[in-house]
Amino acid sequence: MTTYLITGGNGVFGVHTALHLLAEADPDRVICVGRNFERPEPFSLGLGRNDPRYAYYQVHITYEMDRFCELLDETRPDVIVNFAALSEVPTSFRRAWRYYDTNVTALAKMTEHLVKRDYLKRFIHIGSSEIYGSVDHPVTEEAPFVPSSPYAASKAAGDMHLVSIANVLGFPMNILRPSNCYGPGQLLYRILPRAVLCGLTGRKLPLQGGGKAEKSYMHAKDLARGIQMVAEAAPPGRIYNLGPDSPISIRELVSLTAERMGCVLEDICDIVADRPGQDMRYWLDSAAIEAELGWRQRIGLEEGIDDMIAWGRRYLPQIRELPDHFRFQA
């Protein structure tokens, strides 16, 4: 029986990973750690309700590392899944040092503590496809890092730190670099939940640069399956890309969302200037994890968008007046 601990466990991907592990991995415990109080039902999705195997702890890892390390030694997790990160690109140009505090320094402090602990069997770090920069073909894990924002640079630095302590100290890590993910419970400033909310309320989202940029979108449930596969079967030290075969432009994504809601693109968005640091295409080659662990994307984009729309309709009374723009928190 395995004890899993998920940092960033109050975010949408931590929530979906915890739900998946509780349902599919037969764990002894699943522990989520987040910087805030647990979010309400539309975002927590009922995670852990009436399940004694689940626990949540509010600890700000960047500023309460001592408390976090005490929690690690108390709970003795076999597997840690590290989602904890600052990840909003435009803000990283204005507050870059905050991103390095969380995405590099806190990671280094955490792993310096863990490298001395014999209870840890595996540390799965969730990286980012943005470290590769804008590409014109699907890139493998060996592609060079070409970060175009302080956020992407901080994620690349975190990966390099982990590789160094794995090679020299034998730290039992794996890195997953997923494509852009989405899922029910995602905060409303992200493109898909915001598009759904606009379609349900008559508001309009600002479509930056006309939505020309292309990204690869994957449902959080497919990410969670990949994490379980890595936890159970990946060779130590392996790094895996994880994403769909092809990217889609943000304009096409929003247009498809509108279509699935019975409206058109112009009903739910206005064209605005592009944001700084916008890469034009993210595109991953996921052949390694497919060949070695048997992972394949299961949830297609139309099915995933329908899932988001169903979530929006179900929780509209609770979410319609919530902020739909990013608010920075350290």
Domain-wise residue ranges, the chain = 3-181+216-242, 187-215+246-281+299-319
Q: What pLDDT is attached to residue 276?
A: 62
**pLDDT at res. 43:** 97
The rounded percent of the chain whose pLDDT value lies above 90 is 86
Residue found by looking up tokens 């905050």 in the block: 98
CATH 3.40.50.720 describes domain 3-181+216-242 = yes
Q: How far is Cα of residue 101 from the mean position of the Cα atoms in its chain? A: 18
Residue 210: the pLDDT is: 78
The pTM of this model reads 0.95
List, for residues 130-173, the tens digit of each pLDDT value. Answer: 999 999 999 999 999 999 999 999 999 999 999 999 999 999 99
The dihedral over CA atoms of 236, 238, 244, 246, expressed in degrees to the nearest 10, equals 180
Residue 105 CB partners (closer than 8 Å, separation 6+): 62
Residue segments in the chain with a per-residue pLDDT below the cut of 70: 274-279, 326, 328, 330
Do 187-215+246-281+299-319 and 3-181+216-242 fall under one CATH topology?
Answer: no
Give the pLDDT confidence score for residue 325 in this predicted structure: 74
Provide the pLDDT for residue 330.
63
Give the architecture (CATH level 2) of 187-215+246-281+299-319.
Answer: Alpha-Beta Complex (3.90)
pLDDT at site 254: 93
Q: For residue 171, what pLDDT is reported?
A: 98
